[in-house]
Amino acid sequence: MQTTSFIKRFSARTVLTATAFTASLLFTNLSNAAAPLKVGYSDWPGWVAWQVAIDKGWFKEAGVDVQFEWFDYVASMDAFAAGKIDGVTVTNGDALVTGSGGAKNVMILLTDYSNGNDMIVAKQGIKSLKDLKGKKIGLETGFVEHLLLLNGLEKIGMKESDVTIVNTKTNETPQALASGDLSAIGAWQPNSGEAMSRVPGAKPIYTSADEPGLIYDVLTVSPTSLSSRKADWKKVIKVWDKVVMYINDPKTQPDAVKIMAARVGIKPEAYLPLLKGTKLLSLEEGKKVFVKAPGFKSLYGSSKISDDFNVKYGVYKKPMDIQKAIDPSLLAK
């Protein structure tokens, strides 16, 4: 993947709306015991990781017939909404948005959480969020970076009204910061990195690493497919554990990074830093997050916060049923 492909993935995430899903919804049941499970994945590092299992032939070893299909981010959700694939890799917040549009889905696996790749980047001289009081911040309202900013402001006792948010497309934030009209921007990699390269002295003052669990990434599947192919999905999940161990093991990480970098079309040395902003979760780590609890250490709690945010900012109108949107049963031994 070229850098522009990353931009496409992230930019696409920002244009996601419940309305779009409603309009495109033609959900059909593709689950068929004779057919392979179809999973849509895209270029977020936590999902590119599946390429390791694909290249290594681990699904065949596990005895499950699964076909991963490569998409741009929103295209993967469109395919899921159209019933062309059984499962898709998305953020937990976007899984709710997908469901609000009518494409019912159930989160069955946590792949990772954003661990710094999403960030508020400020110009030179601004050292903290407090320094942004009364200043302009460019980000896309109603989406991930907006949530990140509000989370940071709340921690230090500031309100949204203490700053001026300028609605700015994420892939345009580097240019917007460089223009001089803004004091900070909210963006994810590589846009945030590009912003810092364009504006000398610019640096992140708040990132997703400051609030682990604010943005979880998941594999979510159609309830019909889950019901009819539960044993197969369980095999898929078990393979994920092998993927995480292979990537995290210093002995095998170079080979894993080589595979992941090849999938997205960049050199391994350029890909490796992206892993640092993505905390991959083993099944044991994921099980601890699948517990019902408030707050960011729980997928339920994090999703409830995302749901409240989505309703407040009009991404969709009515709260989603978080209990039905998550199924931890496949993680049980």
Over residues 304-317, the pLDDT tens digits come to 999 998 898 888 99
The two three-digit tokens of residue 321, written as one number? 């049923």
pLDDT at 45: 86
Residue 283 within a domain? yes
The domain boundary, picked from 151, 175, 210, lies at 210
Sign of CA dihedral 20, 24, 26, 27: negative
249, 291: one domain = yes
The domain boundary, picked from 185, 210, 235, lies at 210
127, 261: one domain = no
106, 236: one domain = yes
pLDDT at residue 110 tops 90: yes
The domain boundary, picked from 187, 210, 233, lies at 210
* Domain CATH for 197: 3.40.190.10
Residue 28 within a domain? no
Residue 172 within a domain? yes
What is the C-alpha separation between 48 and 71, in angstroms, rounded?
11
Sign of CA dihedral 258, 259, 262, 266: negative
Global pTM reads: 0.81
User: Which amino acid would we find at residue 137?
Assistant: I
DSSP 172: G
Residue 317 within a domain? yes
pLDDT higher at 26 or 318? 318
pLDDT higher at 5 or 108? 108
pLDDT at 333: 66
Residue range(s) defining the domain that contains residue 168? 118-210
Mean pLDDT score across all residues of the chain = 88
pLDDT at residue 16 tops 80: no
Closest CA to 319 of 307, 331, 333, 302: 307
110, 122: one domain = no
pLDDT at 144: 80
Q: Is 151 exposed, middle or buried (0-12, 13-18, 19+ CB in 10 A)?
A: middle
pLDDT at residue 298 tops 60: yes
At 34, the pLDDT band (50, 70, 90 cuts) reads: low
Q: What is the mean pLDDT of residues 145-162?
A: 93
The alpha-helical segments, DSSP class H, found in 166-215 are: 173-179, 191-198
Out of 17-31, 235-249, 292-306, 318-332, which region has the weakest mean confidence (pLDDT)? 17-31
Q: Which residue reads 């395919």 in tokens?
A: 79
Q: Count the domains in the chain.
A: 2
290, 253: one domain = yes
